[in-house]
């Protein structure tokens, strides 16, 4: 329990740090791009909306930095992230609410699947070191060196086309209305297949490699030799003795590298025009929509923190030592 | 002879390595690793292109011509863009920006990670707590979105600015690993001895500790360069950094925004992507080389199938010591063979 509490305190601290970074970044923008954008929409914005943007971007010259900071926190707690300029006059929180489920479904499922597949392959490659499985390593190294988005471009050229099974863009058939019926879900799955495979191929190799190296290290431990000497079956030694222990560092590695992976996978959405958060970020960058950018960053960071917490709970379940201490 | 002597002979590869030859080889051991050697050669090639690229490019990368969107030909090796620009020249000229940003960001991040990681590991106490909390925060916050947002608030960010932003945000991984290693080093006997003889903290860190961290620092540097190259190309691809300077990401940006896919112009984005992949693979290979140099267990290219002097083939595996019957070819090979030695009997 102590372990979990420590982690939760750490994540709260990180969340505070991320929000604070988010508070200061727009204040470093030289010149005043936000004012000019606000002026552009002057007639169409309510005073309330303008006020909220003033707080978010520190345009209120009269207030001290500290009171700006307090106001900013107040707004975050109310879920007020300002108005998007690209999708004027929709609030940023509204846009994110729509796109977040898409990203969580695509990136969440593929990241988890790639961790599972990569870890299992890594167990085999580490156990049968020197066999043909080692031939996988250079191939996966090459695949992991390819940027996700470029692999996406390649996948679209090769597999998607006007009369191909794989659609090249979007999250569902344009005519459909998002709902929980069979037709829509089938269309959503069909649209997510190609992006999912792209993410899977480029992210799986990292797990294979780290798990293989862990297995190789674990395989020379004394307790493995003892397990063999006891006459346990090869499979039992591999899974219950070696893999079980090699898995621990890999799970904590999973938690730590989530931030890197999620950043990369968001780009796949851009290439496939997938209606998720990554595509929002792309649109925001293209039109200098600062409120949307800030909102996307906050949401991504919070999601990664949540995922980290889940990984920590998994670690807690896997490693009895962490349970004993508390 | 009262009790039969027992011989258990461990299988060894055929032919003893000459001691003198081994000593000579040790100096070049890192380069002799095929992975590291391949990586270094490819990296060297890209460095060369980065230096001479703009001079050997057959065309001005921004110059327009009347050959619009043409496939690879003798005149334009990698085809042309929607404005008739030569893609081959763009790739050559763009190499410099990619290498510059990658290496500079790598240097900045490595310097920061050494500074923060080693001091946090060596000092301990409250300084350690706060420094490692700082690096954990930077580790957990998704780096790429942060880089994108910071870079997009800087109008017209050039190569130098991009390198700075990437370097300042991606030091955390290295710092974490260095801290762990420093923690394990600081209580070693030789460090204690140095402390007892009255060496200053500064001298202990630079002379006693840092040399032992060389391999980790090197691998952290290479890893950061990979990350920096990817981030920089991503920034250019989504159109944040200036598109007036050519790099591989800029090529991909134009290819994407001008619908190269829909027009079937594969030559427009394939060369730049392959260049990224080759550079990334080369850097990863160097890193594997460093890993295997430090931890010989990870080497996979060792002779796993070994032929012993009497003709048996034994598969070497980690955690097992294959043990052989020295009596002869026909005897069964079991994990452990204990048998009275013929020689001992004959002598008796």
**pLDDT band for position B112 (cuts 50, 70, 90):** very high
Distance of CA B111 to the CA centre of its chain: 17
Mean pLDDT of all residues in B198-211: 85
Which ranges of chain B does DSSP label H, i.e. alpha helix?
19-26, 29-32, 34-56, 87-123, 125-140, 143-153, 159-169, 172-186, 189-196, 201-203, 214-237, 248-257, 266-294, 342-347
Residues of A in contact with B266 (CB under 8 A): 157
State residue B322's pLDDT score. 54
State residue A40's pLDDT score. 67
pLDDT digits (tens, 9 = 90+) for A43-71: 666 777 777 777 766 666 666 778 778 88
State residue A30's pLDDT score. 62
Strand partners, B80: B86
pLDDT digits (tens, 9 = 90+) for A9-45: 888 888 888 888 888 887 776 656 666 666 666 666 6
Cross-chain residue pair A145–B277, CB shorter than 8 Å: yes
Residues of A in contact with B255 (CB under 8 A): 153
Q: How far is A130 from chain B (nearest CA, A)?
A: 6
Higher pLDDT among residues B60 and B163, named by residue: B163
Considering only CB atoms, B148 lies closest to which of A213, A281, A301, namely A281
Most confident range, picked from A265-274, B106-115, B172-181: B106-115
Q: Report phi then psi at B324, rounded to 5.
A: -115, 150
State residue A323's pLDDT score. 67
**pLDDT band for position B108 (cuts 50, 70, 90):** very high
* Lowest-pLDDT choice from A99-108, B112-121, B253-262, B269-278: B253-262
Higher pLDDT among residues B83 and A59, named by residue: B83
Cross-chain residue pair A260–B144, CB shorter than 8 Å: yes
pLDDT digits (tens, 9 = 90+) for B269-303: 888 888 888 898 898 888 888 877 777 766 654 54
Q: B4 pLDDT exceeds 50?
A: no
**pLDDT band for position B105 (cuts 50, 70, 90):** very high
Contact B233, B240 (CB under 8 A): no
DSSP 8-state code for residue A242: I
Angle among Cα B202, B207, B208 to the nearest 5 degrees reads 100
Q: How far is A221 from chain B (nearest CA, A)?
A: 7
Residues of B in contact with A156 (CB under 8 A): 261
Mean pLDDT of all residues in B18-30: 56
**pLDDT band for position B56 (cuts 50, 70, 90):** confident
Tokens of B244: 């007036």
Residue in chain A closest to B257 (alpha carbons) equals A271
Mean pLDDT of all residues in A220-248: 87
Cross-chain residue pair B300–A305, CB shorter than 8 Å: no
pLDDT digits (tens, 9 = 90+) for A244-270: 888 888 887 787 777 777 777 778 888
Residues of B in contact with A203 (CB under 8 A): none
Higher pLDDT among residues A110 and B73, named by residue: A110
Phi-psi region of B61 (alpha: psi -120 to 50; beta: other; left: phi over 0): alpha
- CATH architecture for segment(s) A92-322: Orthogonal Bundle (1.10)
- CA dihedral for A262, A263, A264, A270, sign (positive or negative): positive
Q: Where are the domains of chain A?
A: 2-77, 92-322
Burial class (CB in 10 A: 0-12, 13-18, 19+), A277: buried
**pTM of model > 0.90:** no
State residue B3's pLDDT score. 45
* Lowest-pLDDT choice from A142-146, A170-174, B283-287: A170-174
Contact A305, B164 (CB under 8 A): no
Tokens of A214: 């862990």
State residue B337's pLDDT score. 42
State residue A35's pLDDT score. 67
Cross-chain residue pair A145–B276, CB shorter than 8 Å: yes
Give the best residue of A21, A138, A142, A153 to mutate against chain B (max B CB count within 10 A).
Answer: A153
Q: B6 pLDDT exceeds 50?
A: no
Q: How far is B94 from chain A (nearest CA, A)?
A: 17
Cross-chain residue pair B226–A137, CB shorter than 8 Å: no
Residue in chain A closest to B135 (alpha carbons) equals A14
Q: B335 pLDDT exceeds 50?
A: no
* Lowest-pLDDT choice from A200-209, B39-48, B125-134, B256-265: B256-265
**Among B144, B172, B142, B49, which Cα is nearest to B100's?**
B49
Phi-psi region of B311 (alpha: psi -120 to 50; beta: other; left: phi over 0): left
Angle among Cα B285, B289, B290 to the nearest 5 degrees reads 120
Tokens of A265: 């996978």
């Amino acid at each position: 329990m102590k372990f979990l509490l420590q982690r939760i305190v750490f994540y709260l601290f990180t969340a505070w740090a991320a929000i604070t970074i988010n508070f200061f970044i727009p204040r470093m923008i030289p010149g005043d791009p936000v004012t000019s954008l606000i002026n552009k929409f002057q007639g169409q914005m309510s005073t309330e909306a303008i006020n909220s943007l003033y707080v978010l971007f520190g345009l209120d010259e009269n207030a001290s930095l500290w009171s700006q900071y307090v106001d900013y926190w107040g707004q975050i707690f109310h879920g007020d992230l300002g108005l998007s300029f690209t999708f004027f006059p929709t609030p940023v929180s509204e846009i994110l609410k729509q796109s977040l489920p898409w990203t969580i479904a695509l990136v969440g499922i593929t990241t988890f699947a790639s961790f599972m597949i990569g870890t299992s392959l890594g167990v085999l490659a580490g156990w049968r070191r020197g066999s043909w499985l080692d031939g996988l390593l250079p191939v996966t190294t090459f695949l992991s060196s390819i940027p996700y988005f470029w692999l996406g471009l390649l996948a679209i050229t090769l597999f998607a086309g006007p009369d191909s099974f794989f659609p090249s863009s979007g999250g569902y058939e344009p005519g459909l209305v998002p709902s929980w019926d069979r037709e829509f879900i089938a269309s959503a799955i069909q649209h997510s297949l190609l992006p999912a495979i792209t993410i899977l191929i480029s992210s799986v190799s990292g797990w294979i490699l780290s798990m293989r190296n862990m297995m190789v290290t674990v395989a020379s431990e004394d307790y493995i030799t003892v397990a063999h000497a006891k006459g346990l079956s090869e499979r039992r030694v591999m899974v219950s003795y070696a893999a079980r222990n090699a898995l621990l560092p890999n799970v904590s590695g999973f938690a730590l590298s989530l931030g890197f992976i999620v950043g990369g996978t968001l780009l796949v959405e851009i290439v496939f025009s997938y209606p998720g958060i990554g595509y929002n970020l792309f649109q925001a960058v293209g039109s200098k929509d600062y409120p949307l950018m800030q909102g996307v960053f906050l949401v991504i960071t919070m999601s990664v923190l949540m995922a980290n917490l889940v990984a920590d709970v998994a670690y807690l379940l896997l490693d009895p030592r962490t349970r004993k201490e508390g | 002879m009262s009790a039969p002597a027992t011989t258990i002979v461990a299988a060894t590869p055929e032919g003893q390595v000459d001691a003198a030859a081994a000593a000579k080889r040790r100096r070049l051991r890192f380069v002799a690793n095929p992975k590291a050697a391949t990586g270094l050669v490819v990296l060297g090639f890209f460095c060369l292109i980065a230096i001479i690229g703009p001079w050997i490019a057959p065309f001005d990368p921004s110059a327009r011509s009347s050959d619009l969107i043409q496939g690879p030909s003798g005149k334009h090796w990698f085809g042309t863009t929607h404005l008739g620009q030569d893609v081959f020249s763009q790739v050559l000229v763009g190499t410099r920006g990619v290498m510059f940003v990658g290496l500079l960001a790598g240097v900045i991040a490595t310097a920061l990670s050494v500074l923060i990681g080693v001091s946090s590991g060596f000092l301990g106490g409250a300084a350690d707590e706060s420094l490692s909390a700082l690096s954990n925060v930077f580790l957990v916050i998704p780096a790429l979105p942060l880089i994108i947002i910071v870079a997009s608030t800087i109008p017209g960010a050039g190569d130098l600015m991009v390198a700075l932003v990437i370097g300042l945000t991606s030091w955390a991984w290295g710092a974490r690993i260095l801290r762990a290693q420093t923690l394990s080093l600081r209580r070693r006997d030789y460090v204690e001895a140095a402390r007892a003889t009255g060496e200053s903290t500064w001298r202990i860190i630079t002379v006693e500790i840092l040399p032992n961290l060389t391999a980790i620092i090197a691998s952290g540097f290479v890893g950061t360069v990979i990350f920096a190259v990817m981030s920089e190309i991503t920034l250019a691809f989504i159109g944040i950094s200036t598109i007036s300077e050519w790099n591989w990401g800029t090529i991909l940006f134009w290819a994407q925004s001008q619908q190269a896919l829909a027009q079937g112009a594969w030559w427009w984005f394939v060369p730049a992507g392959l260049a990224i992949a080759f550079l990334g693979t080369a850097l990863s290979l160097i890193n594997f080389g460093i890993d295997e140099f430090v931890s010989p267990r990870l080497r996979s290219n060792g002779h796993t199938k070994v032929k012993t002097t009497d003709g048996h083939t034994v598969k070497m595996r980690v955690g097992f010591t294959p043990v052989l019957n020295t009596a002869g070819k026909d005897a069964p090979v079991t994990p452990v063979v204990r048998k009275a030695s013929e020689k001992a009997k004959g002598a008796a």
